[in-house]
Structure 1
Amino acid sequence: MIAIIGIVIVFVMVFGGYMAAGGKLGIILEAMPFELAMIMGAAIGAFMLSNDGSVVKHTLKDLGKTFKGAKWKAEDYRDLLCLLFELVRLAKGDPLAVEMHIENPTESTIFGKYPKIQADHEAVELICDTMRSASMNYDDPHQVEEVLDKRMEAHLHRALHSSHALQTMADGLPALGIVAAVLGIIKTMAAIDQPPEVLGKMIGGALVGTFLGVFLAYGFVGPIAAKLKAIAEEEAQFYQLIREVLVANLHQHSAAICIEVGRQNVPHHQRPGFDVLEEALKGTKTS
Structure 2
Amino acid sequence: MIGFVGIGVIFVMVFGGYVMAGGKMSIILKSLPFELMMIGGAAVGAFLLSNDMSAVKHTAKDVGKVFKGPKWKPDDYRDLLCLLFELIRLARQNPVAIEEHIEAPNDSTIFSKYPKVLADGEAIELICDTMRSASMNYDDPHQVEEVLEKRMEANLHHAMHSSHALQAMADALPALGIVAAVLGVIKTMASIDQPPEVLGGMIGGALVGTFLGVFLAYGIVGPFAGRLKTVTEEDSHFHQLIREVLVANLHNHATNICIEVGRQNTPAHYRPSFSELEEALKAVKSSGAA
Q: Which TM-score bucket, shorter chain as reference? A: over 0.9
Is residue 2:258 matched to residue 1:258? yes
Q: Which residue of 2 aligns with 1:268?
A: 268
Secondary structure, counterpart of 2:216 in structure 1? helix
Q: Which amino acid aligns with 1:176?
A: L
Aligned counterparts of 1:267 and 1:240: Cα–Cα separation in 2:
10
Question: What's the CA shift for 1:265?
Answer: 1.1
Is residue 2:86 matched to residue 1:52? no
Percent sequence identity over matched residues?
Answer: 75
Q: Which residue of 2 aligns with 1:120?
A: 120
Aligned counterparts of 1:15 and 1:30: Cα–Cα separation in 2:
15
Is residue 2:4 matched to residue 1:12? no
Aligned counterparts of 1:154 and 1:67: Cα–Cα separation in 2:
25
Aligned counterparts of 2:227 and 2:264: Cα–Cα separation in 1:
25
Question: What's the CA shift for 1:225?
Answer: 0.2
Aligned counterparts of 1:260 and 1:222: Cα–Cα separation in 2:
38
Q: Which amino acid aligns with 1:28?
A: I
Aligned counterparts of 1:29 and 1:237: Cα–Cα separation in 2:
45
Q: Deviations over 1:75-103 (max 9, x none)?
A: 11011000000000001111111011001
Secondary structure, counterpart of 2:110 in structure 1? helix
Aligned counterparts of 2:36 and 2:49: Cα–Cα separation in 1:
19
Is residue 2:246 matched to residue 1:246? yes
| Mean CA deviation greater in 247-256 or 265-274 | 265-274
Q: Which residue of 1 aligns with 2:198?
A: 198
Q: Deviations over 1:16-56 (max 9, x none)?
A: 11111111111001100100011000000100110001111
Is residue 2:88 matched to residue 1:83? no
Q: Which amino acid aligns with 1:283?
A: A
Q: Deviations over 1:120-177 (max 9, x none)?
A: 1000000000000111111110000100000110010011010000000000000000
Aligned counterparts of 1:130 and 1:186: Cα–Cα separation in 2:
63
Question: What's the CA shift for 1:2?
Answer: 1.2
TM-score by length of 2: 0.98
| Mean CA deviation greater in 16-25 or 165-174 | 16-25
Is residue 2:189 matched to residue 1:189? yes
Q: Which residue of 1 aligns with 2:73?
A: 73
Is residue 2:105 matched to residue 1:109? no
Q: Which residue of 1 aligns with 2:36?
A: 36
Q: Which residue of 2 aligns with 1:147?
A: 147
Aligned counterparts of 1:54 and 1:70: Cα–Cα separation in 2:
22
What are structure 1's unaligned runs of at least 5 residues?
none
Question: What's the CA shift for 1:203?
Answer: 0.3
For these two proteins, the number of residue pairs brought into alignment is 287
Is residue 2:210 matched to residue 1:210? yes
Secondary structure, counterpart of 1:95 in structure 2? coil
Q: Which amino acid aligns with 2:259?
A: I
Aligned counterparts of 1:78 and 1:159: Cα–Cα separation in 2:
24
Q: Which amino acid aligns with 2:45?
A: G
What are structure 2's unaligned runs of at least 5 residues?
none
Aligned counterparts of 1:111 and 1:274: Cα–Cα separation in 2:
23
Aligned counterparts of 2:40 and 2:265: Cα–Cα separation in 1:
41
Aligned counterparts of 2:111 and 2:185: Cα–Cα separation in 1:
64
Q: Which residue of 2 aligns with 1:228?
A: 228
